[in-house]
Amino acid sequence: MAQASNRQPGHWLTLQSADSGGPWGCRIESVGVKLPAERLTSRDLMSKTSHRTHIQLERLTGIHERHVVGPGENSFTLATGAARDCLAHSQLQASDIEMLISTSITRSKGRTSQSFEPPLSLYIKQAIGATQAVNFDLSNACAGMLTGVFVLQDLVAQGAIKCGMVVQVNTSRT
Amino acid sequence: MRHGGSGEYISHLSWNAARQIRSLFSKQLASLTLGDAGAAVMVERAPRGSGIDVIGFTTLAEHSRLCLAFPSSVGPGAQMYTKSRTLHRVAIEDMAPLVAETIAEAGIELGDIDYLIPHQTSARAIRAGTQEFVRRLGTSPKHVVVNLEEYGNTSSTTLFVALHKYLEEQRIRKGDRVMLLALASGIEIGMAIFTIDSLVDSYGHTH
């Protein structure tokens, strides 16, 4: 990151700002989401523990339910659905995307529990028709998606690209 | 593999945890909070001085053993071990000065943030964290977003799932200042501050 500040005493983060020196700014243009249809309540999940736990999960965490992938759904289908929703809210076309980054921790596709190579970003790119995009996967746990934006922000601010997309999916049922 | 009769796959990370967990103090408790989601975000070139105000990252590697995930030993899929209480304590402790640094870089105060969207782990942890930031920084963000009730912890999509929902519901409006706060195993901490612009125009028409 050419314009990023190095970590110095009293300076804890690698920060980039609108005033970091690049010739351009970088804005968030659209956001898309794809949620699986199936839901699982905390009550149902805790009713299936092997041991009698006495854990009141909903009271403890505030989680009433969560969406969970069903048959036919996987990392690839959710990622592609989210990318398409993002394009549906965008003024841009898939062909405008110059860089597509997948930051998914899970990479299930088809009947494969984990597809390691080629990267998931390639399949997403092909599915949405982002024919001009350079693509790669980037892994940074639960901070992955913001890390992707961090990388794109610098490239956009420097003028290397005009438009990029980050896609992330979490399917805990791998 | 399917879970008896109910159609759920037993390879789910939460199911692996459910099979092994014995008490509130289990290190697999956090596995029970996970939910599935996909999210995408498009960024584009904007005039200099507009768009994302500040974006930053740091790694607190001394705490890297507090959250570990790897293939399950009891079945297909993964399992995750988290020392949740310690993780939340150190995250809140170490995040406060980082939040201060980020908002200072943006030239604002915490009270100028209209919507703080933190990583979603538990409602209690988010409340405790926010209280600590407010105590140290003197002002409070106008809204702190919690969407755990219907989504659980959807990993790094949480920030954008929340942003998307608030845009669709037209709760976030043009001119609002949003702060995203990522927290991950590592410990990875990421922050971004931006002001909502014409982004909002594409949302909310379905309601």
**pLDDT given for residue B4 in this prediction:** 33
List the single best residue of A66, A98, A120 to mutate versus B (max B Cβ within 10 A): A66
User: Over the stretch B127-139, which tens digit does the pLDDT of each residue have?
Assistant: 999 999 999 999 9
> β-strand A134-137 against B37-46: which pairing, if any?
unpaired
Residue of chain A minimizing CA distance to B96: A12
> β-strand A99-102 against B78-82: which pairing, if any?
unpaired
CA-based R_g, chain A, Å: 19
Cβ separation B152–A30 shorter than 8 A: no
List the single best residue of B28, B156, B202 to mutate versus A (max A Cβ within 10 A): B156
List the single best residue of A142, A161, A165 to mutate versus B (max B Cβ within 10 A): A142
Please check whether residue A51 is in contact with residue B22, taking contact to mean a CB–CB distance below 8 angstroms: yes
**Helix, strand or coil, per DSSP, at residue B186:** coil
What Å distances lie between residue B38 and A86, A162, A170, B165, CA to CA?
11, 24, 6, 13
User: Over the stretch B53-104, which tens digit does the pLDDT of each residue have?
Assistant: 999 999 988 888 888 888 777 766 777 888 888 888 888 888 899 999 999 9
Task: Please indicate if any CB of chain B lies within 8 Å of the CB of A51.
Answer: yes
Lowest model confidence (mean pLDDT) among A4-13, A70-79, A162-171, B47-56:
A4-13
Residue of chain A minimizing CA distance to B13: A172
Q: How far is CA A113 from the centre of its chain?
A: 18
User: Over the stretch A118-171, which tens digit does the pLDDT of each residue have?
Assistant: 999 999 999 999 999 999 999 998 899 999 999 999 999 999 999 999 999 988
ipTM of the assembly? 0.91
Least CB–CB distance from A156: residue in B12, B45, B203: B45
Q: What is the rounded average pLDDT of the residues A45-57? A: 81
Structure tokens at A136: 């790669």
User: Over the stretch B21-62, which tens digit does the pLDDT of each residue have?
Assistant: 777 767 777 788 888 999 999 999 999 989 999 999 999 888
Contacts of B77 in chain A (CB under 8 A): 113, 172-174
Q: What is the pTM of this model?
A: 0.91
Task: Please indicate if any CB of chain B lies within 8 Å of the CB of A158.
Answer: no
How many angstroms away from the CA of B130 is the closest CA of chain A? Answer: 16
Angle at B171 between CA B169 and CA B177, to 5 degrees: 135
Task: Please indicate if any CB of chain B lies within 8 Å of the CB of A70.
Answer: yes
Structure tokens at B123: 């409602």
Residue of chain A minimizing CA distance to B75: A174
3-state secondary structure B124-163: HHHHHHHHHHHHHHCCCCCEECCCHHHHCECHHHHHHHHH
Spatial separation of the C-alpha atoms in residues B94 and B90, rounded to whole Å: 6
Contacts of B159 in chain A (CB under 8 A): 145-146
B6 class by beta-carbon count within 10 Å (0-12 exposed, 13-18 middle, 19+ buried): exposed
Contacts of A21 in chain B (CB under 8 A): none
